[in-house]
Amino acid sequence: MAKVVVLGAGAMGLAAAYQAVRLGHQVTLLEAAAEAGGMAAHFDLAGLSIERFYHFVCKADEPTFALMQELGIGDRMRWRGTSMGYFTGGALHPWGDPVSLLRFPGLSLIEKLRYGLLMFVSTRRNSWPVLENTSAKDWIERWCGPGVYRKLWAPLFDLKFHEYAGNISASWIWTRIRRVGRSRRSLFQEEMGYIEGGSQTLVDALMRRIVAEGVSVAFGKPATKVEVSGGRVVAVQAGAERHSCDAVISTVPTPLVSALVPDLPKAERVAFDSILNIGVTCIVLKLRSSVTPHFWVNIVDPAIPFPGIIEFSRLRDTGTGETVVYIPYYMPVTNPNWDRPDEVFVAEAMAGLRRINPRLTGSDLIASHVGRLRHAQPVCPPGFLRRMPRVQTGIAGLQIADTSSYYPEDRGIAESIRLGREMAHRLATEGGGAV
């Protein structure tokens, strides 16, 4: 039995704590925020408990299903046929199946066939190592031609990654296409999942279980220093408190770890410091009317400064007939727009929605919320795999991971759960801690 301190009570930290306590370790979980859930945490949107950031489940999310079964909430998964749209050229078009692609304006027949082939191949392949050293731009242009990249992809990449848009790894975008592309009932019908009651159902079940199994959980307690002595971890400081331990599992965003672990070997510090993140300002609106018939709409329009909208109530019903829409503004936190007041974002988001659906009026707005997250999306350039620091650091007993650690998979609850549990298993091996 080892004394283990887990840092962060998001999906990864909760899963790590759960697995570690089941393996017989003595576990303390420290979370900086006032509640559990991290990126998947809920808030109250005028009487509706909902995620701060949109969360859907795909059929490939096996680690989530396995954990839900173990926690006795396997019956809370729900699946629903969903659809996508594309707003471009001032009009909304259906998107995401072969017929929509053939009818889509603005692409030649050859471009459509090449695009369709790329999507088909992407969802079928299980491994594609050659993509690791290729940029998404080069990969898409090679398969579909420069026109497809310019018309469909470049505007979306620009609004998500800004100055990094041209240098995103093809492996990363491929695994993303594959995860969503495999979540289908048929070639013509996409199917997405959600957890009844939202991600909070899973977070609550995990919290109940780990507390029952004896994990000591402290909220509002950011770790301030991981102490190292003789090449291994010995304690974690959280303000004035000191938790002595044999092992630490850190799930806090990796850009924060250099400050947290001053004794980290220089090469590892440099590697962690070099992982860039994009922030997100995510607007959540509760509306009296629906915006479009689709769950997800990609947007390529010079008058709309966001790359898409997620009409979440098309997946998880609000139960009141009201609509919930997420409007994500991704940007580096150095972008001058990052600090704009909430009202400016909300007004701009409403104007964008009204451009898509002119029947919407200001009186349709029931409530709004603006959520900000500085480390929302790791930026993974070609060759990222070689640069990724190992989860098991050079310090015995210290493992460090965040959502960039399961690259080329994109950030997701399922992957965070998988890696969290894996780190707990590793406690008994290598320099994991309990050896």
Ligand X SMILES: Cc1cc2nc3c(=O)[nH]c(=O)nc-3n(C[C@H](O)[C@H](O)[C@H](O)COP(=O)(O)OP(=O)(O)OC[C@H]3O[C@@H](n4cnc5c(N)ncnc54)[C@H](O)[C@@H]3O)c2cc1C
Binding span for ligand X by CB under 6 A among 30-38, 173-181, 208-216, 225-233: 30-38
CB of 70 to ligand X, least distance (A): 18
**Is the CB of 40 or the CB of 245 nearer to ligand X?**
40
From CA 378, how far away is CA 164, in angstroms rounded?
11
394 DSSP 8-state letter: S
CA pair distance 191, 183, nearest whole angstrom: 6
**Options 140, 159, 173, 252; binder of ligand X; rule CB under 6 A:** 252
Name the one range near ligand X by CB under 6 A: 24-32, 89-97, 164-172, 211-219. Answer: 24-32
Nearer to ligand X, 11 or 434 (CB): 11
- Among 18-26, 33-41, 89-97, 262-270, which window interacts with ligand X (CB under 6 A)? 33-41
Asked if 413 is part of the footprint of ligand X (rule: CB under 6 A), the reply reads yes
* Residue pair 406/415 in contact by the 8 Å Cβ criterion: yes
Q: Which of 18, 53, 115, 306 binds ligand X (CB under 6 A)?
A: 53
* Distance of alpha carbon 89 from alpha carbon 155, whole angstroms: 13
> By CB under 6 A, is residue 190 in contact with ligand X?
no
11 binds ligand X (CB under 6 A): yes
- Output the CA torsion sign for 229, 234, 236, 242: negative
Q: What angle (nearest 5°) sits at the alpha carbon of residue 418, between those of residues 314 and 221? A: 90
Pick from 222, 305, 381, 383: which binds ligand X (CB under 6 A)? 222
Question: Binding of ligand X at residue 38 (CB under 6 A)?
Answer: yes
- Kindly state whether residue 389 participates in binding ligand X, applying the rule CB under 6 A: no
Residue 104 near ligand X by CB under 6 A: no
Minimum distance from residue 252 beta carbon to ligand X (Å): 4
Contact call for residue 54 and ligand X (CB under 6 A): yes
299 binding ligand X? (CB under 6 A): no
The angle, 0 to 180 degrees and rounded to 10, between the axes of the packed helices 109-124 and 170-181 is 80
330: alpha, beta or left? (left if phi > 0; alpha if psi -120 to 50)? beta
Among 17, 20, 27, 56, binds ligand X (CB under 6 A): 56
Cα–Cα distance measured from residue 88 to residue 363, given in angstroms and rounded to the nearest whole number? 26
Q: How many CB atoms lie within 10 A of CB 22?
A: 15
The correct pick among 416, 418, 426, 433 for binding ligand X (CB under 6 A) is: 416
Site string for ligand X, 318-347 (x = CB under 6 A): ----------x-------------------
How far are the Cα atoms of 295, 313, 320, 321 from residue 317, in angstroms, in the given order?
11, 5, 8, 8
Is 403 a residue that touches ligand X (CB under 6 A)?
yes
Q: Does the footprint of ligand X cover residue 261 (CB under 6 A)? A: no
Distance, in Å, from the CA atom of 369 to the CA atom of 380, rounded to the nearest integer, reads: 29
The correct pick among 123, 235, 411, 428 for binding ligand X (CB under 6 A) is 411
What lies within 8 Å, CB to CB, of 329 at 6+ separation is 280, 281, 282, 283, 305, 306, 337, 345
Query: Using CA atoms, how far apart are residues 153 and 161, in angstroms rounded to an integer?
Result: 12
- Which of 23, 32, 234, 271 binds ligand X (CB under 6 A)? It is 32
Nearest residue relative to ligand X (C-beta): 38
Tell me the two tokens of residue 410. Answer: 């994109």
The binding site for ligand X (CB under 6 A) comprises: 7-13, 30-33, 38-40, 53-56, 222-223, 251-252, 256, 280, 282, 328, 373, 376, 402-403, 411-414, 416
